[in-house]
Amino acid sequence: MAKNISCTVDVRCWKQRTCTACGGVFSYIFARKIAGMGPTREAAAAAMEANAVKQVMTDASSHPCPTCGLYQPDMVAARRVTAQGWLFAVSIPAMLLLLILNVSNTVQDNLIVPAAAGIMVVVGLLQLVFDARRPNRDLEANRQLAQRSIERQLLRVDTPGRAQQGMEVPWSTQGSMGSLNAMGAPSVAGVSSSTGGGVVPLALFVIGLTAVLVPPIVRESRGWPFNPVAFPPIVGPGDSTRFYTQHSLRSIDGKFRAEADAVATPKGGGAEFPLVAKSNQDNWGDSTIR
């Protein structure tokens, strides 16, 4: 079987940017280790070159504008993508695990619901923490950081920008949940550009958390009994449920058939009434034991 050949290169170059706030032009050192793969050395080298061009054109390192101190919108986005990517990578498998445990009748709803709500609350709080970390909050500190980068020859000023009076807090980065200001929307001299971009995810978060918590709240408010041995624990007319006995049966390959009878006894006493019940109906068919 043919193996892919890997080719890597260390890219280090000046990348020029134009500040979206003051119009200043500055450049910073762009450094990446870039790889490419292909069935031949030539194909791997071509893939590596294409990846290098793409990353130089689209990727952004985080450096504030030396003139006004602003981190550009795509730089802020790159920071958040990394943090939110890790949050997504951890939360989705956790929720899927809870779903699998519930569908497989391994863990009951009285444990699944608080666990799911807890995960959602933790994710929401972490998201608010990410929103609170705003790199353009202190532009003067950002300018000082840019000056230190210039001294280390990691940053240079190509064309100074036009710093305006009152640009100390001119920009607000949109938070994905809590903030209402658009990412990179200028707010000079008290005039802000706002959108409802942060309202939609916040509303979806509240709706999702409510959907998880409403069923147990309704059950408790109406006094419906919770049957911890049944899956699902609450049934209505026409529904079916499953429960597992404390006794175990040993059979070849776990296959067995049995007859089952069940009756329901009203809470507080009263006449019993029969229920339709059945057990596993496995059979060997035409299988042969060897």
Q: Distance between CA 149 and CA 61 in Å, rounded? A: 13
Give me the pLDDT at residue 164, please.
Answer: 58
Tell me which of 281 and 172 has the higher pLDDT.
281
Helices (H) then strands (E): counts for the chain: 5, 9
pLDDT over 70 percentage in the chain:
85
Res. 175: pLDDT tops 60? no
pLDDT band at residue 173, thresholds of 50, 70 and 90? very low
CA atoms of 142 and 137, how far apart (whole Å)? 9
Predicted pLDDT of residue 100 = 93
Q: Is the peptide bond before 232 cis (omega within 30 degrees of 0)?
A: yes
pLDDT, mean over the chain: 81
The predicted pLDDT at position 33 comes to 92
Give the model confidence (pLDDT) of 50-76 as tens digits.
999 998 888 889 999 999 999 998 898
Q: H-helix or E-strand containing 211? A: helix 199-222
C-alpha closest to that of 48 among 32, 61, 63: 32
Name which of 141, 8, 126 is nearest 70 in CA terms: 141
pLDDT of residue 181: 42
The residue that leads in pLDDT, 188 or 100, is: 100
Mean pLDDT, residues 114-137 taken together: 87
Q: Which two tokens stand for residue 286?
A: 């035409």
Selected residue with higher pLDDT from 284 and 286: 284
H helix runs in 63-136, sequence order? 73-103, 109-132
Give how far Cα 36 sits from Cα of 3, 9, 47, 52, 59, Å.
13, 9, 5, 9, 17
Q: What is the pLDDT of residue 190?
A: 33
